[in-house]
Amino acid sequence: MLTLVTGAGGFVGSYLSRELARQGTPVLALSHRDLDVARSAEVEKVIQENRPVQVFHLAAQSSASRSWTEPDLTYQVNVVGTHNLLEAIRRHSPATRILVTASSDVYGAAGQLAEPIEERALTRPLSPYAASKLGQEAVVAMFHEAFGLHTIITRAFMHIGPGQPASFATADWARQIALAEKGLSEPILAVGDVEVVREFMDVRDVVGAYTKLMGSAAPGSLYNVACGMAYPLKYALDILLDLAAVEIEVRVDPSRMRAADPSVLVGSPRKLQDLTGWMPEYSLQQTLADVLHHWRSSVPV
C-alpha cells in the first residue's frame, strides 16, 4: 500500500510527505536528489521496484521567473518528466492512482475576471512555466484517454506558508523583515508589483485538499484548489509590516517586476468543495505570522 511522492524535497512536497506519514500512510518520499524525473530510466526503476498504490506527482520546475531564463529545463522537468512517470506506471503499475499538480497559472490572461475562475474557463498561459503546466495536463489527459490510467489533475492557486523559498514574494518580505529586526540589513523592504490580486491559501490547507482528492476524485478529473477569495499583494505586505518589530520603509524595485503577470487570479473552489467538503482552516493573518516566525528562527543571530 505504498504511496510515492515526487518532489518531496520541495515546499509543498515536504508538507504532504509529513501529513501522509502522520496519517499512517507508508510513504516513499523522493526529492530531485533521489529521482530526476527527466531521466526515464530512473523513473522506470522506481516504479518497477515499488509499484505504488498512489502517486502524488509534485516534482516540477515551479518558478515562473526562472522559466524565462531556463525554458528548456522547465519543459523537460514539467512535461517530459510527467510523460516518463506515466509511461512507467502504464508499463509496470497500471492500477496506480496518480494525482498530478498542475497550476492555476494555466489560466493566465483568461484570469482577468471579476468572478472566481471555474475549471471550464479558457487557458491562456503567460509564461513558459504556465505553458509547461498546460503541456503537462495534455500529457496526463492523453494517458487517461489512451490507456485508462487513473489520473487526477489539480490546479492550485497561490499558496504560501512557513518554509517557502525566498524566491516567492511573501517569504522574501518576511525574510527581509527578519534581517532588519536583527540589524543585519537596513530597514528597507524591496518589493515588486504589490497591486496584483492573488489568493493566499496556506500550504497546509492545499495539502489537505490533495489528500482528499486522491481518495475521492474520479479518473480523468480536474479540480481547482482554491479558496475563492483574493487580495492585492499589498494587503499581505501590510499585515507583515504590522507584525514587524521595527519600522520598515517599502521601496519598489523595478527588477522585481514580472513580465506578463496577470493582474487578477482567483479560483472557484465549488467543484472541490462539492466533492470533498474541503474548507480552508488557516487565516491569512495566522499564515503570515507563521511565515515571519519561520524567518525569525532561520536568519543568523
pLDDT digits (tens, 9 = 90+) for 200-245: 999 999 999 999 999 999 999 999 999 999 999 999 999 999 999 9
Confidence of residue 120 (pLDDT cuts 50, 70, 90): very high
| Helices 284-298, 233-243: inter-axial angle, 10-degree rounding | 60
Tell me the DSSP string of 145-167.
HHH--EEEEEEE--EE-TT--TT
Q: Which of 73, 68, 61 is nearest to 7 (CA)?
A: 61
pLDDT digits (tens, 9 = 90+) for 162-188: 999 998 999 999 999 999 999 999 999
- Please give the pLDDT value at position 112: 65
Pairwise CA distance, residues 208 & 192, whole Å: 30
Yes or no: is domain 3-159+202-225 CATH 3.50.50.60?
Answer: no
- Centre a 10 Å sphere on the Cβ of residue 138 and count the other Cβ atoms it contains: 12
pLDDT digits (tens, 9 = 90+) for 78-92: 999 999 999 999 999
Q: Which of 150, 123, 144, 137 is nearest to 55 (CA)?
A: 150
Residue 160, beta-bridge partner list:
202
Please give the average per-residue pLDDT across 12-40, as a whole number. 97
Q: Are strands 159-160 and 201-202 parallel, antiparallel or unpaired?
A: parallel
Q: Angle at Cα 203 formed by Cα 197 and Cα 206, nearest 5°?
A: 90
Element (H, E) at 133: helix 128-147
Q: Which CATH class is domain 164-197+229-266+282-298?
A: alpha beta
Please give the average per-residue pLDDT across 273-292, as a whole number. 98
By CB atoms closer than 10 A (0-12, 13-18, 19+), residue 68 is middle
Element (H, E) at 246: none
> The cell 505504488 sits on which residue?
52
* Cβ atoms 231, 197 nearer than 8 A: yes
- Edge to edge, the sheet with strand 264-265 lists 231-232, 197-198, 264-265
Residue 147, phi then psi, degrees to nearest 5: -125, 0
Q: Does residue 254 register a pLDDT over 90?
A: no
Q: Does residue 260 register a pLDDT over 90?
A: no
Look up residue 48 and give its three cell numbers.
518497477
pTM: 0.95
- Centre a 10 Å sphere on the Cβ of residue 28 and count the other Cβ atoms it contains: 18
- Please give the pLDDT value at position 202: 98
What are the residue boundaries of the structural domains of the chain, listed by start? Answer: 3-159+202-225, 164-197+229-266+282-298
Q: Are strands 249-252 and 54-57 parallel, antiparallel or unpaired?
A: unpaired
How confident is the prediction for the chain on average, in pLDDT?
95
Q: Does residue 114 register a pLDDT over 80?
A: no
Q: Return contacts of 251-254, CB within 8 angstroms, 24+ apart.
A: 251/188, 251/189, 251/190, 251/191, 252/190, 252/191, 252/192, 252/194, 253/190, 253/191, 253/192
Q: Which of 87, 78, 98 is nearest to 41 (CA)?
A: 87
Lowest mean pLDDT among 119-123, 248-252, 296-300: 296-300
pLDDT digits (tens, 9 = 90+) for 121-164: 999 999 999 999 999 999 999 999 999 999 999 999 999 999 99
